[in-house]
Amino acid sequence: MYCQKGGAVWLLLLILENVFMTTKSIFKITIWFALSSLTLSNSASATPQYASVAARYSTTSCTIPCEKSQASDWYFWRDENRVEIRNATQDVGEIWRRDGKKRLSFVYVEPAHKRGIEYNDTDLRMINHKRSWDRLASVVSSAEIEKLSLVGETEILGHKAQRYSGKIDKRTVEVVWIPDLQLTAKVVNIYPDRQVTTEIKSFLTKQDNALATSEDQLSDYALVDFADLGDMETKESMAWLKKATMAPGHDVHEH
């Protein structure tokens, strides 16, 4: 049922040469963006330090001339070595961790059912689902921003922000960057035939009733190792695995 197929990657956010999140694929996060004509500020080019962030984003996509659009809201939580992304309905999400050796691990989660699939660094490499931590933690990485030109300044949700713009391949890219948070506030990718916009809507508060999954909560989940999926798929209690089509490396075969 599950195969190690390089093209089988899922979701954000969101997020790959552009940030392209539809309602169904909100978590396909593959954003990978020399030097611009303007010298960037130290805040964009320095080694990133990641403060804790909890925010709500929205991604909108449309076919030019954009008479109709599709929008998806999603949550984003970040600490120095942990990133969690969850769609607004909170029925599917992803948790990324980074250990002391900078190795990544990943958990596909279905919070409503308290279950998920765990992937270690080797699993992610085998299914071609490796990600840049800088990009995961910032939505658009500082390295990508260095390929754009600084065109102005603005303010976003009480934070000073910088505006960058440029053309990459066949798309025009616009980014609003919050230096003190090392976080993307907005990214617009304009292609010849479509436009994809991802932007922060708010920082989360207690009133939003949306919290990151704690490690204690995750320990209560029914978690399956990706490497064990072949053995688990025939168990009646694990029938849900066949329906977890959003999970990386998921591929259904007839036997």
* Among 11-20, 83-92, 136-145, 158-167, the least confident range: 11-20
What integer pLDDT is reported at residue 238 of this predicted model? Answer: 66
Whether the per-residue pLDDT at 237 is higher than 70: the answer is no
Helices and strands (H and E) in the chain: how many: 6, 12
Reported in sequence order, the residue ranges of the chain that DSSP labels E, i.e. its strands, are: 53-63, 69-79, 82-87, 93-98, 104-110, 115-119, 149-156, 159-168, 171-178, 183-190, 194-203, 222-225
> How many domains is the chain built from?
1
What integer pLDDT is reported at residue 47 of this predicted model? Answer: 56
What integer pLDDT is reported at residue 60 of this predicted model? Answer: 96
Q: Report if residue 11 sits inside a domain.
A: no
Q: Report if residue 152 sits inside a domain.
A: yes
Q: Report if residue 231 sits inside a domain.
A: yes
Q: Report if residue 27 sits inside a domain.
A: no
What integer pLDDT is reported at residue 12 of this predicted model? Answer: 46
Q: Report if residue 107 sits inside a domain.
A: yes
What integer pLDDT is reported at residue 36 of this predicted model? Answer: 27
Question: Which structural domain, as residue segments, surrounds residue 152?
Answer: 42-241
* CATH label of the domain that carries residue 185: 2.50.20
Q: Report if residue 66 sits inside a domain.
A: yes
Name the pTM for this structure: 0.79
Tokens in use for 211? 């919290």
The overall average pLDDT reported for the chain is 80
Distance of CA 60 to the CA centre of its chain: 15
DSSP H or E stretch at residue 45: helix 42-45
Q: Report if residue 57 sits inside a domain.
A: yes
pLDDT tens, residue by residue, 98-110 = 999 999 999 999 9
Q: Report if residue 6 sits inside a domain.
A: no
CA distances from 251 to 2, 8, 140, 245 (A): 5, 8, 29, 7
